[in-house]
Amino acid sequence: MSPYKIIVRSPGWRNFDACTLGVSVNSPNWQGERFASILEFAAENFETIRIDVTDLLYRHNFMAEGLPAGDAAARAEGFGGLWLVRHQALIDACPVRPHVIRWGSWYRHPDYAEVLDGFQRVAAASPLLHAAIERDVDEFLQRQSRKPTEAKRQHSRAYLIEELAIFTLQARALSSLKIYPGNEPACINVVRRGLVPFAPRGLEREQYARVKFHTRGGHEAADSLLSTASPGRRHQPNTPAVDQLALS
């Protein structure tokens, strides 16, 4: 039995037969015993488990720090590979065989370019989505406690729009409960709720579920330490987070 009990903050989550674990590969929430606890919870409650290894998306973070695009991509993929090496035994032992898919696989989806272009267009045209993206970017940069350069803002925006596109493709492919130990970014929330006219459809097939960790003795694990990992999200203490830009 894992050391943490998972508490779900999402009414109606039991209506889903499938779940997606939105693994942020450098977040302490997705390491070791915490990942084991979430995976155990998923196996106990769902017939289908998809593990979304969000690695290559983080190239935007590293490019914002000055790395060339190729080096940034290699570094991001390296973190994803390392996470898989560390957690493969847990995945293999899961009684419900998870489907593991890495971020870069979605770039080869036949609808990726169209959906990405759709979100780029609507982000420029919709005051609501534009404001939500800027709010997520502002909150992330404030947590970094650094002077927000325009380059950092541009990479943050690109990160968020790419995440919207791939999350949409994921939801189209599988109607599921999206499990994440943190808040949903504002830009994803407004699209999921159908508040952005002309946005590519798909996120309405998925429900976001914030989960929290409680020790088996009944105490809630600390989760108030802010992270630079992503706009709108927090990480757990005791494990250092790589300085990252945006969401997952």
Distance CA 55, CA 39 (A): 19
One-letter identity of residue 117: D
Give the SS3 label for residue 100: strand
Helix or strand run (H / E) with residue 209: strand 207-215
Q: Which CATH class is domain 4-215?
A: alpha beta
Which residue in this structure is represented by tokens 């952005």?
A: 196
> Do the beta carbons of residue 203 and residue 191 sit within 8 Å?
yes
| Separation CA 52–CA 178 (nearest Å) | 10
The region that residue 201 occupies, defined by phi over 0 for left and psi between -120 and 50 for alpha, beta otherwise, is beta
* Alpha helix segments (H runs only) across the chain: 32-45, 59-64, 69-93, 112-125, 127-144, 150-173, 186-192
The pTM for the full model equals 0.87
CB 212 within 8 A of CB 29: no
Contact status, residue 208 vs residue 176, Cβ threshold 8 Å: no
Alpha carbon 128 to its chain centroid, in Å, reads 21
The whole-number pLDDT of residue 151 equals 87
Regions of the chain with pLDDT less than 50: 222-228, 232-248
For residue 247, the model assigns a pLDDT of: 40
- What angle is formed at CA 138 by the lines to CA 148 and CA 177, rounded to 5 degrees? 135
Matching residue, tokens 């289908």: 48
Per-residue confidence (pLDDT) for residue 234, from 0 to 100: 37
Provide the edge-to-edge strand list for the sheet that holds 4-9. Answer: 4-9, 207-215, 177-180, 18-24, 48-54, 99-102
Write out the two tokens for 154: 């541009």
β-strand pairing of 18-24 with 4-9 = unpaired
226: amino acid identity, one letter:
L
Which tokens belong to 10? 């999402």
Q: What pairs with residue 19 in β-bridges? A: 49, 177
Check residue 91 and give its pLDDT. Answer: 98
List residues bridging with 52 in a β-sheet: 22, 101
